[in-house]
Amino acid sequence: MEKETFQDAWYPADTVMVAIGQGAVQLTPVQVSMIFASVANGGYKIKPHFIQSDQPDNHWRTSLHLKPQTLATLRSGLRAVVTSGTGHVLNAASIPPAAGKSGTAEDPPRSSHTWFGAYAPFNNPEIVVVAFGENTGGGGGSTAGPIALKVLEAYFQTKKK
C-alpha cells in the first residue's frame, strides 16, 4: 500500500508508526467511534445505522471474536486513561465513570490534530463519543477531552430529565 499511495517503500519504522496511529493511518471519527463501541459493547463491530432500524441485529452487528481477557485488558486500560492518565478530565462527578483514550496526530507543517474517544458508563456503556480537533494543537486529553466531557454531560443531564 505504501509504495502505491506514497510512491515509497515500506520500512520497519513505518510499521511502528502505524501501530501508534501515525504515518499512513487515516480514520474518520465515525470509524474511531466504531472501534470504541466494539470495546464498550463486548466485542461487536457495529455498522452505523438508525437506531429504529427494522433490520435484525445480525445485519448491523458482527462479532469480532475477541477473547474475554482481551476485552477486559482493553477496558481496564481505557478506564485507567481516565482515572490516572491523559483523560483525567473525564474523571468528573458530572458524569458516571467513563473510559477513554486521548490521541494526538501530527500534521506537519500545521498544528497537530487532537482526538478523544470515550464511552460511559464504564460498567454498562450507553454512549460512545469521539471528539476531533482539526489542527488545534495541544494534546488530545487537554484539547479534545473537554469537548468529549461536554457531550457526555449533556447526554447524562438530558437523560435525568
In one-letter notation, the amino acid at residue 145 is G
Q: How far apart are CA 79 and CA 44, in angstroms?
A: 19
Q: How far apart are CA 135 and CA 143, in angstroms?
A: 11
Report pLDDT for 136.
97
Report pLDDT for 102.
96
Report pLDDT for 125.
97
Bridge partners of 63?
44
The answer to whether the peptide bond before residue 109 is cis (omega within 30 degrees of 0) is yes
Alpha helices, H only, 12-144: 12-19, 29-40, 57-60, 68-84
Half-sphere exposure of 101 (CA within 13 A, CB side): 16
Question: Helix and strand tally (H, E) in the chain?
Answer: 6, 5
The answer to whether the peptide bond before residue 121 is cis (omega within 30 degrees of 0) is yes
Q: How far apart are CA 6 and CA 153, in angstroms?
A: 42
Q: Kindly list the domain boundaries of the chain, sorted by start residue.
A: 28-160
Q: Give the mean pLDDT per block of 10 residues along the chain (161 residues).
A: 69 87 86 96 90 70 96 98 98 98 92 96 97 96 98 93 70
Domain 28-160 has CATH 3.40.710.10: yes
Report pLDDT for 6.
67
Q: Which of 79, 47, 141 is nearest to 131 (CA)?
A: 141
pTM of full prediction above 0.75: yes
Q: How far apart are CA 43 and CA 62, in angstroms?
A: 9
Helix, strand, coil percentages, rounded to 5, for the chain: 45, 20, 35
The 3-state secondary structure of 80-102 reads HHHHHCCCHHHCCCCCCCCEEEE
